Chain A
Amino acid sequence: TQLLEQSPQFLSIQEGENLTVYCNSSSVFSSLQWYRQEPGEGPVLLVTVVTGGEVKKLKRLTFQFGDARKDSSLHITAAQPGDTGLYLCAANFGNEKLTFGTGTRLTIIP
């Protein structure tokens, strides 16, 4: 059974600060996606990374795929209240299913 562990589970920081959340697995995955989910809504895809070592930027969000393809990180610069939400990573382990991580609940305090 492939598991995706996210850390931290909860994170509460002041507006303007920087933060990093992590997604780790003991198994290699072929691709990884990051989603954000807001209350009362379904997850929304932020990015897909497929190449080991790949870095993608989406405005103030930077996504990195580990060289060994077992981990990924999401870094947010100058966090804003609109960044508040549940961040989920989801991996494809080559078995035609998406496995979701445990989630990081982020709160940005104005």
Chain B
Amino acid sequence: KAGVTQTPRYLIKTRGQQVTLSCSPISGHRSVSWYQQTPGQGLQFLFEYFSETQRNKGNFPGRFSGRQFSNSRSEMNVSTLELGDSALYLCASSLGLAGERYTQYFGPGTRLTVL
């Protein structure tokens, strides 16, 4: 069974631009969660989608948004990029909601650099 895939793996943008990251979950998984990982703040929860609905949201500004499609694939968008948005963005998929103790399987991440 194929794992979680994320595209692109690396991305360089400049301040003010916007970016869209993509995540394809494991086949059959209906939940997709997004996390931001930085050396200073560690791994922080962005949001979780289940059956195309946002079920949980972390403490990030409205510049961070996401969506999930009917095939469970998910995208996240960051608008008006800031230098502090440079991070590894991780996607994780699971059969059910992460809060209900379903195992999350992480992708390799997208490394975003904002110049």
Binding site for B on A (CB under 8 A): 31, 40-45, 48, 50, 88, 90, 92, 95-103
B43-77 interface with A by 8 A CB criterion = 43-45, 48, 55-56, 58
With an 8 Å Cβ cutoff, the count of chain B residues facing the other chain is 25
Assess the A97–B109 pair: CB atoms within 8 A: no
Binding site for A on B (CB under 8 A): 4, 33, 35, 42-45, 48, 55-56, 58, 90, 92, 97-101, 103-109
A101 to B33, CA, bound (A): 17
Assess the A43–B43 pair: CB atoms within 8 A: yes
Q: Point out the residues of chain A lying under 8 angstroms from B92, CB to CB.
A: 42
Q: Which of A44, A48, A50, A101 contacts B106 (CB 8 A)?
A: A44
Q: Point out the residues of chain A lying under 8 angstroms from B109, CB to CB.
A: 41-42
Assess the B97–A42 pair: CB atoms within 8 A: no
Q: Which of B4, B56, B90 contacts A96 (CB 8 A)?
A: B56
Assess the A45–B42 pair: CB atoms within 8 A: no
In the A-B complex, the 9 residue pairs with the closest CB atoms: A42-B106, A96-B99, A100-B43, A43-B106, A102-B42, A42-B90, A98-B98, A97-B56, A96-B56
Additional A-B contact list (5), CB under 8 Å, known A43-B106, A96-B55, A96-B97: A40-B108, A42-B4, A43-B43, A96-B99, A97-B56
A88 to B101, CA, bound (A): 16
The interface centre, meaning the residue of A88, A92, A97 with most chain B CB atoms within 10 A of its CB, is A97
A101 to B44, CA, bound (A): 9
Q: Output the nearest chain A residue to B45 by Cβ-Cβ distance.
A: A97
Q: Point out the residues of chain A lying under 8 angstroms from B4, CB to CB.
A: 42
Assess the B45–A99 pair: CB atoms within 8 A: yes
Shortest Cβ gap from A70 to chain B (Å): 18
A41 to B107, CA, bound (A): 7
Given A41-B108, A42-B90, A42-B92, check contact A98 B99 (CB 8 Å). yes
Shortest Cβ gap from B51 to chain A (Å): 15
